[in-house]
Amino acid sequence: MITREEIIRRTNDALKKEFEFSDAQLVPTAQLKDDLCLDSLDAVDMVVVLEQQFGVTLRQGYDLRTIVTLNDLYDFIEKLAREHHK
């Protein structure tokens, strides 16, 4: 099973590549909308990139609007990974 550290690294790598963020911007408390300035179209791009990165579907019956910070995103991916490996 994937570790939390691996989830954080792979998520941050994908976000840096897609949106050209710096390491300094990608702290767990960073808010996707307010701190990283991701709008709804960016969120769709983020979902697609992360689905490809982790081989899971993020939209399946989940309310993605509850993901406010990067830490929320890491938690969400970790939960999906656990469910996927059951």
pLDDT of residue 64: 75
Convert the pLDDT of each residue in 32-78 to its tens digit. Answer: 999 999 998 998 899 899 989 988 877 665 677 789 999 999 998 99
Q: Report the phi/psi class of residue 55: left, alpha or beta, with left for phi > 0 and alpha for psi in -120 to 50.
A: left
Of 46 and 1, more confident: 46
- pLDDT surpassing 80 at residue 85: no
Burial 35-71 (b: 16+ CB within 10 A, else e): ebebeeeeeeebeebbeebbeeebeeeeeeeebebbe
All domains of the chain, ordered by start, with CATH? 4-85 (1.10.1200.10)
- Classify burial at 29, counting beta carbons within 10 Å of its beta carbon; exposed 0-12, middle 13-18, buried 19 or more: exposed
